Amino acid sequence: MGNAGDGLETVKHDTADLADEAKERAQAGGEKLNRAVAGDSMPLGDRIVSNVKEAGHNLKADVDRSKRDVRDNT
């Protein structure tokens, strides 16, 4: 059996991961918004870089969510 300190640590880590996930999702949304605002005036290379950045931010957010899920299921 765990003790109360384990629960507090879980909450602390879950909160940090939730904040990290929110930050990454916001940055991914910012990349998508930049492409939408620039439209066709954004050069192809810049659009590709922006898409890669968006995917990277979403991947990092998914990792943070997964870390919380693992802790919640153990």
Residues 15-63 pLDDT 10s: 999 999 999 999 999 999 999 999 999 999 999 999 999 999 999 999 9
For residue 73, what is the DSSP state? T
54 Cβ contact list (under 8 Å, min separation 6): 28, 31, 32
Residue type, 5: G
The Cα–Cα gap between 5 and 56 comes to: 34
- Which strand (E) or helix (H) includes residue 1? none
Q: Tokens in use for 37?
A: 């605002």
Q: In terms of pLDDT, which residue wins out, 3 or 22?
A: 22
Tokens of 67: 């870390």
Taking the C-alpha atoms of residue 49 and residue 14, their distance in angstroms, rounded to an integer, is 31
So where are the chain's domains? Answer: 4-72
